[in-house]
């Protein structure tokens, strides 16, 4: 039987404010079994870019990453945010290892082709090599993954943290019984956007199609859920969408095949 | 018989200028056997601090590291410099893994006690745990170490790269036949500071004491060589002081017991 592994993806806001970061690290440290943390860091990147006089340009929520911006995100995601999480977890007895996709060639990507928009040094994930990662997890190491990958030609690439979480979960599913938890700012997928207590507790793909048809699920939640079903179809055991403060509860929206 | 391992320490200047960095990565990639790279990054840290309006204060060549400066070195050493080296080595077929001392709890340090000078968030190395590191190296992984450690209480600490190299070499000597190469800006230890060709090719501890007595070796070279003999006495097979461009030659000053 495969060991259980929980892969948690948290956005920038949670890891960038000290109080919410400390709370997250406490909750994450309390999780049983094998685990992986994938983090963002966009707000800190925007702040550093501002301080350096570099303009942050976002298109559809994605950062246009020119050479200067790539330096900023490499410093913030790969250095500041990642290493502070690692040190904070070590203080809690969690043997964390901070990684970008370049480290041990874990995530190989390709620079996004220019179509309507030139996103610059942004990577689309090509493959995740989970073999060395799996060995380390098996030995009790807890990978902490920054949203950066590489193209194998010496270039780092800014890469969406949701995508890194999904692709890594899929690759690890060959070795572990993986639950993927996407933390976001609501308690789960809501039946009524204005009612925080209208969480849909469980959803399969048929429910999803129906709810999209009824207009209950819309906007950015659609690709998020499509990714969740893709992960399930690729062998991930369960996907949960919930608040970061609820990763140890049974709350949130549980997505199943 | 133990496998051969070469641990190379390079200063900031070499890894911070693109042409010298690319040359170093070519040379490092060409090294046979197990290997580890320890790097600095001080000039880039000073530059970023300047851009952010943070004053860099150096005492005896050491950076006074207040909270703001710690953020800067975490970004520059742990992010920018480290991850670019990792990506550059991956492009050369070297399976690099970027690490600070916090990652996998590899280097535990204590904040330097305040005596005459308060160095701030600067760490003195307490112990190196080479067990997981040794496993990874055995599997072909090449650690790339940034000059940052942690205190086990959630704090990163700015740590001298020469010290990291020496302490890591000693810890790895239990598992490998280690040669430690300190790269610096001269061809080796010079008999005459003004003559680049006066390299002392070989030196044991008796030679060293004699040369210090004669005034041939002085200044910053004395602690460097004392560290070298300490490493040899702790099981490191050989220490070489040379130019970064000479790591594949038999040049430089070879220090032996």
- One-letter-per-residue 3-state SS of B4-39: EEEEEEECHHHHHCHHHHHHHHHHHHHCCCEEEEEE
pLDDT value at position B257? 86
Residue A220 contacts by C-beta under 8 Å, 6 or more apart in sequence? Answer: A61
Contact B35, B8 (CB under 8 A): yes
Q: What is the total count of domains within chain A?
A: 1
Question: How far is residue B63's CA from residue B20's CA, in Å, rounded to a whole number?
Answer: 24
Residue among B136, B122, B213, B206 at smallest CA distance from B175: B136
| Paired strand residues for A143 | A97
The residue of chain B nearest to residue A54, with distances taken between CA atoms, is B51
Cβ–Cβ contacts within 10 Å for residue B81, how many?
A: 30
Q: Do B79 and A78 touch (CB under 8 A)?
A: yes
Chain B neighbors of A28, CB-CB under 8 A: none
Chain A neighbors of B76, CB-CB under 8 A: 75, 79
Answer yes or no: do B54 and B115 share one domain.
yes
* Distance in Å, alpha carbon of B106 to nearest chain A alpha carbon: 10
Q: How many CA atoms lie within 13 A of B255 on its CB side?
A: 27
Percent of chain B with pLDDT over 90: 87
Percent of chain B with pLDDT over 70: 100
SS (H, E, C) B217-238: CCCCHHHHHHHHHHHHHCCCCE
Answer yes or no: do B108 and B147 share one domain.
yes
The residue of chain B nearest to residue A101, with distances taken between CA atoms, is B87
Answer yes or no: do B196 and B154 share one domain.
no
Answer yes or no: do B63 and B119 share one domain.
yes
Q: Do A156 and B105 touch (CB under 8 A)?
A: no
Reported as a pLDDT band with limits 50, 70 and 90, residue B213 is very high
C-alpha distances in Å from residue B107, one per residue of A90, A178, B13, B67, B248? 11, 31, 24, 20, 28
A53 torsion bin: left (phi>0), alpha (psi -120 to 50), beta (else): left
By mean pLDDT, which of A40-44, A59-63, A170-174, A187-191 is the weakest? A59-63
- Domain interval for residue A32: 4-183
Residue B206 placed within a domain = yes
Is the whole-model pTM more than 0.90?
A: yes
Question: Using one digit for the tens of pLDDT, what is the confidence trace for B33-85?
Answer: 999 999 999 999 999 999 999 998 988 778 899 999 999 999 999 999 999 99
Residue A146 placed within a domain = yes
Structure tokens at B48: 């970023």
Mean pLDDT within B162-182: 97
B248 torsion bin: left (phi>0), alpha (psi -120 to 50), beta (else): alpha
Three-state secondary structure call for residue A247:
coil
Residue A235 placed within a domain = no
Question: How far is residue A142's CA from residue B220's CA, in Å, rounded to a whole number?
Answer: 40
Q: Do B152 and A90 touch (CB under 8 A)?
A: yes
Three-state secondary structure call for residue A249:
coil
Residue among A32, A34, A10, A14 at smallest CA distance from A22: A14
Q: Establish whether this prediction's ipTM goes over 0.85.
A: yes
The residue of chain B nearest to residue A77, with distances taken between CA atoms, is B79
Residue A228 placed within a domain = no
> Is residue B4's pLDDT more than 90?
yes
Residue B153 placed within a domain = yes
Question: How far is residue B36's CA from residue B97's CA, in Å, rounded to a whole number?
Answer: 10
Q: Do A105 and B87 touch (CB under 8 A)?
A: no
Chain A neighbors of B100, CB-CB under 8 A: 83, 86, 98
Residue among B221, B205, B107, B207 at smallest CA distance from B156: B107
Question: Using one digit for the tens of pLDDT, what is the confidence trace for A129-154?
Answer: 999 999 999 999 999 999 999 999 99
Q: What DSSP state is assigned to residue B140?
A: T
* Distance in Å, alpha carbon of B132 to nearest chain A alpha carbon: 8
Answer yes or no: do B154 and B212 share one domain.
no
Residue B177 placed within a domain = no
Answer yes or no: do B200 and B245 share one domain.
yes
Contact B182, B228 (CB under 8 A): yes
Residue A33 placed within a domain = yes
Of A22, A83, A152, which to mutate for an interface test with B (greatest number of B Cβ within 10 Å)? A83
Question: How far is residue B179's CA from residue B2's CA, in Å, rounded to a whole number?
Answer: 12
Question: Using one digit for the tens of pLDDT, what is the confidence trace for A15-49?
Answer: 888 999 999 999 999 999 999 999 999 999 999 99
Residue A249 placed within a domain = no
Answer yes or no: do B107 and B73 share one domain.
yes
Mean pLDDT within A83-104: 98
How buried is residue A198: exposed, middle or buried, by Cβ count under 10 Å (0-12/13-18/19+)?
A: middle
Chain A neighbors of B52, CB-CB under 8 A: 51-52
On average, the pLDDT of chain B sits at: 95
Residue among A80, A128, A77, A74 at smallest CA distance from A101: A128
Looking up residue B66, the CATH number of its domain turns out to be: 3.40.1160.10
Dihedral over alpha carbons B64, B65, B67, B72 (to 10 degrees):
120
């Amino acid at each position: 039987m495969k060991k259980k592994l929980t892969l948690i993806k948290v956005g920038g806001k949670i890891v960038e404010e000290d109080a919410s970061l400390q709370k997250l690290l406490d909750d994450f440290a309390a999780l049983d079994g094998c685990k992986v943390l994938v983090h963002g860091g966009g707000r800190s990147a925007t702040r550093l870019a501002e301080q350096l006089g570099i303009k942050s340009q976002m298109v559809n929520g994605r950062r246009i990453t020119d050479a200067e911006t790539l330096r900023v995100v490499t410093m913030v995601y790969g250095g500041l945010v990642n290493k502070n999480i690692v040190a904070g977890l070590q203080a809690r007895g969690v043997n964390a290892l901070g990684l970008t996709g370049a480290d041990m060639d874990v995530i190989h990507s390709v620079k996004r082709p220019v179509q309507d928009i030139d996103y610059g040094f942004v990577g689309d994930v090509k493959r995740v090599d989970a073999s060395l990662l799996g060995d380390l997890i098996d030995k009790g190491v807890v990978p902490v993954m920054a949203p950066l990958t590489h193209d194998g030609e010496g270039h780092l690439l800014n890469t969406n943290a949701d995508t890194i979480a999904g692709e890594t979960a899929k690759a690890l599913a060959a070795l572990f019984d993986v639950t993927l938890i996407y933390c976001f700012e609501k308690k789960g997928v809501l039946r009524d956007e204005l009612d925080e207590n209208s969480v849909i507790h469980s959803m399969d793909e048929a429910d999803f199609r129906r709810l999209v048809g009824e207009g209950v699920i819309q906007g950015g939640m659609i690709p998020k859920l499509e990714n969740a079903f893709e992960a399930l179809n690729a062998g991930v055991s369960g996907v949960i969408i919930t608040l970061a403060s609820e990763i140890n509860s049974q709350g949130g929206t549980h997505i199943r095949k």
